[in-house]
């Protein structure tokens, strides 16, 4: 079974009104659908452009911008649900701050299919900036979505850098990695994390990024990244592990086909079986023996 995935390198915009936003998102979805994409992955915090609807002063204010975006999430969800149905695609919407009965927001990515809302995934581990000064908090647990396109998990940006989170999604065929990184170093960390999770899980990871400058925001003022699709460098996949990769900082979609049969096959017939051998680390990952420099007995 082949699934065509589209990973966004998404440039946020100044929005004068809600119609600007709906037209922009519809254009992006239509472009991916025209390329045959069945699964569209937007990036982490791409929804922060909605803060501009409240004006520049609000968008530039870290606290008020969170609330301004959160107010528009229900309408954004309705828009994405409609587009997923109209174009017959699955869409991971750009993540947004959402207040869920507490005074601090979570960073939430919402997932839609042709039949409507599928579910959401909250970020698990906060970056330094999210902790302080932004005070965005971790949310609900990891989830695995069983869809017509296979089993799909989501690791939001920094989460992709933690192996145990990837291991929790060991049954996933695809792990989606929406990201928002300021520097090339940040982008590289997440890209390496996405590739490592694909290696360990013998699965495919799909990374999306924010790109470009936003002089109206302190949180996402600079963005570096690109779309990418990665697999294990093993049987049925490229030797580099890179299935497809877009140009750095070039807005647009990176589209490619993922063969689910290849994922099933590499897990059985691959040159290595790290996914099955994961448990053999247990007992070897505790306290290490310290060996001092000097002559040692054989």
Domain ranges of the chain: 2-281
Do the strands 242-245 and 228-230 form a parallel or antiparallel pair, or are they unpaired?
antiparallel
The per-residue pLDDT string of the chain (298 residues; one tens digit each, 9 = 90 and over) reads 799 999 999 999 999 999 999 999 999 999 999 999 999 999 999 999 999 999 999 999 999 999 999 999 999 999 999 999 999 999 999 999 999 877 899 999 999 999 999 999 999 999 999 999 999 999 999 999 999 999 999 999 999 999 999 999 999 999 999 999 999 999 999 999 999 999 999 999 999 999 999 999 999 999 999 999 999 999 999 999 999 999 999 999 999 999 999 999 999 999 999 999 999 999 999 889 999 887 766 6
Q: Are 202 and 267 in contact (CB under 8 A)?
A: yes
pLDDT for the residue 297: 66
Q: With helix as H, strand as E and coil as C, how does the chain read?
A: CEEEEEEEEEECCCCCCHHHHHHHHHHHHHHHHHCCCCEEECCCCHHHHHHHHHCHHHHHCHHHHHHHHHHHHHHHHHHHHHHHHHHCCEEECCCEEECCCCCCCEEEEEEEECCEEEEEEECCCCCHHHHHHHCCECCCCCCEEEECCEEEEECCHHHHHCHHHHHHCCCCCEEEEECCCCCHHHHHHHHHHHHHHHHHHCCEEEEEEEEEECCCCCCCCEECCCCEEECCCCCCCCCCCEEEECCCCCCEEEEEEEEHHHHHHHHHHCCCCHHHHHHHHCCCCCCCCCCCCCCCCC
Q: Are 195 and 205 in contact (CB under 8 A)?
A: yes
pLDDT tens for residues 159-176? 999 999 999 999 999 999
Architecture of the CATH domain 2-281: 4-Layer Sandwich (3.60)
pLDDT > 70 fraction of the chain, expressed in percent and rounded: 99
Paired tokens of 108: 């939430």
pLDDT for the residue 31: 98
Stated pTM of the model: 0.97
């Amino acid at each position: 079974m082949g699934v065509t995935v589209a990973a966004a390198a998404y440039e946020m915009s100044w929005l004068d009104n809600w119609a600007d936003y709906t037209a922009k998102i519809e254009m992006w979805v239509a472009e991916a659908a025209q390329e045959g994409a069945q699964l569209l992955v937007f990036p982490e915090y791409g929804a922060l452009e909605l803060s501009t609807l409240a004006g520049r002063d609000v968008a530039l204010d870290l606290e008020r911008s969170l609330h301004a975006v959160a107010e528009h999430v229900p309408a954004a969800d309705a828009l994405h649900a409609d587009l997923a149905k109209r174009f017959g695609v699955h869409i991971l919407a750009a993540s947004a701050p959402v207040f869920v009965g507490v005074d601090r927001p979570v960073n939430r990515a919402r997932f839609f299919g042709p039949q409507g809302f599928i579910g959401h995934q909250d970020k698990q581990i906060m970056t330094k900036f999210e902790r302080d000064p932004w005070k965005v908090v971790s949310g609900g647990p990891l989830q695995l979505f069983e869809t017509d396109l296979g089993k799909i998990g989501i690791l939001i940006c920094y989460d992709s850098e933690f192996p145990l989170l990837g291991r929790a999604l060991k049954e996933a065929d695809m792990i989606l990695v929406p990201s928002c990184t300021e520097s090339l170093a940040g982008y590289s960390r997440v890209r390496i994390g996405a590739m490592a999770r694909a290696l360990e899980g013998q699965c495919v990871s799909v990374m999306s990024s924010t790109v470009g400058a936003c002089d109206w925001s302190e949180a996402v003022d600079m963005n570096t990244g690109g779309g990418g699709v990665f697999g294990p460098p093993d049987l049925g996949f490229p030797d580099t592990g890179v299935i497809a990769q877009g140009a750095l900082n070039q807005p647009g979609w990176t589209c490619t086909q993922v063969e689910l049969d290849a994922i099933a096959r590499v897990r059985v017939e691959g040159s290595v079986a790290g996914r099955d051998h994961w448990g053999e680390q247990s007992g070897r990952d505790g306290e290490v023996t310290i060996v001092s420099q000097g002559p040692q007995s054989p």
